[in-house]
Structure 1
Amino acid sequence: MIMDFPNTMRLFVSLEPPPEALQPVADAVVELGRVPGVRWSPPSRWHVTLAFLGDLDDDDVRRLAPPLRSAVAAAGPVRLRLAGTGTFGTSVLWAGVAGDVERLSSLAAGVAGAARAAGLGLEERPYRPHVTLARAAGRGGAGALGQLADQLAGVRGPTWTAVEARLVRSHTSDGRYEVLEHLPLLPPA
């Protein structure tokens, strides 16, 4: 159940791959080591975002919770794996998501629809499932990301089944993630 939180919260809805699904990519990242101008995201923060909700207050979250629970429950479990890499411009290095991407995209659309039904204005843009691995963080980082994507392109993770989504608060002050609610992806009846 969602608890009361003061002021506004920066929220997103995501799937969290299990550690064994992340391990091959994490091992490959460790082998690359430190890269000047690149800030690696720790595997403990890796997730597949379904929707970034932005800054919401308690009332927004209360309105969002029921349609969000329904949308996620109706989607059912999704089989996925990490595969391939790429960049968003010169700022983000990501691992791709393969498997039942059509069902994953439908789940993301359902989450976005639930947010809109709750009166939240989400930015309209195509859904591109990924896991953020690193960001450019200074001189040389932007140029390095493309090379890193090429080096990691062949890394694949094992298949895993997502059985829940999570409503997550991002604490911008310290980079911490806090799961506010576990949202089961219910199997078809």
Structure 2
Amino acid sequence: MRLFAALYPPAAAVEHLDDFLAPRREAGTDLRWTDTEQFHVTLAFMPEVAEHLVEPLADALAASLSERRPLDLRVIGGGAFPNAAEAKVIWGGLEVGDDDPAGDSLTSLARTVRLTASHAGAAPQGGPFRAHLTVARSRRAFEATRWLRILEAYAGPAWIADEVTLVASHLGESRGRRPRYEVMAQVALGG
């Protein structure tokens, strides 16, 4: 099964971002906008995990994250993958609170989650961690500078990320062929 480990923003942060994006969605009908219930920050993506490994993976995450403290985060600004000139993904950036201005603790959390998943046999994929929350996708590459200028103006409310959620992603099962997400486990930071 396809799994990912993620941080989910609380309802107030999701609503704030949704309110900001609502009028812009009408101007970007060529984009596939992320459903608000699917807003998340992926820490590790695991494309093929045997079902019998899910529980041991959740247990391993609980053990490895028991000493991690919650993070003070907010969505701010944005960017595009792979770049603004040939964008296929538009995303909101993440800022870690004043106690970690470089965002090292978020990168370190992702590293811990990926290492734990690897040791549990879940084989995470992906390049270097880039903290982001996907807001829209496109099937074809497009020039995204105007969207990045819009996102530059966004600064969401602060929120506490105090748990990592392990999610199964079921592709093409729901209406519009968007993935359906199923929570497999929630692991508290700091035990």
What band does the TM-score fall into relative to the shorter chain?
Answer: 0.7 to 0.9
Structure-2 residue corresponding to 1:75 = 68
Tell me how far 1:27 sits from its aligned partner. 1.4
- How do 1:143-162 and structure 2 match up within 5 A? 143=143, 145-162=144-161
Contact 1:23 1:157 in 2 (8 A): no
Tell me how far 1:106 sits from its aligned partner. 1.2
Contact 1:37 1:137 in 2 (8 A): no
Alignment equivalent of 1:178, drawn from 152, 177, 182: 182
Q: Does 1:123 align with 2:125?
A: yes
Amino acid at match of 2:132: H
Contact 2:44 2:125 in 1 (8 A): no
Percent identity of equivalent pairs = 34
**Distance across 1 between alignment mates of 2:16 and 2:54:** 36
Q: Any unmatched runs of 5+ in structure 1?
A: 1-8
Greater mean deviation of Cα atoms: 60-69 or 89-98 = 60-69
Contact 2:41 2:133 in 1 (8 A): yes
- TM-score relative to the length of structure 2: 0.85
Q: Any unmatched runs of 5+ in structure 2?
A: none
Contact 1:86 1:146 in 2 (8 A): no
- TM-score relative to the length of structure 1: 0.86
Q: Does 1:22 align with 2:18?
A: no
Contact 1:22 1:82 in 2 (8 A): no
**Distance across 2 between alignment mates of 1:186 and 1:48:** 19
Q: CA RMSD in A?
A: 1.7
**Distance across 1 between alignment mates of 2:34 and 2:4:** 17
**Distance across 1 between alignment mates of 2:156 and 2:74:** 6
Change (3 A) 1:178 1:132: same
Contact 1:37 1:142 in 2 (8 A): no
**Distance across 1 between alignment mates of 2:35 and 2:125:** 27
**Distance across 2 between alignment mates of 1:124 and 1:84:** 23
Contact 2:45 2:126 in 1 (8 A): no
**Distance across 2 between alignment mates of 1:165 and 1:96:** 18
Q: How many residues align?
A: 176
Contact 1:97 1:130 in 2 (8 A): yes
The list of structure 1 runs, each at least 4 consecutive aligned residues, that deviate by more than 6 angstroms after superposition, is: none
Contact 1:11 1:54 in 2 (8 A): yes
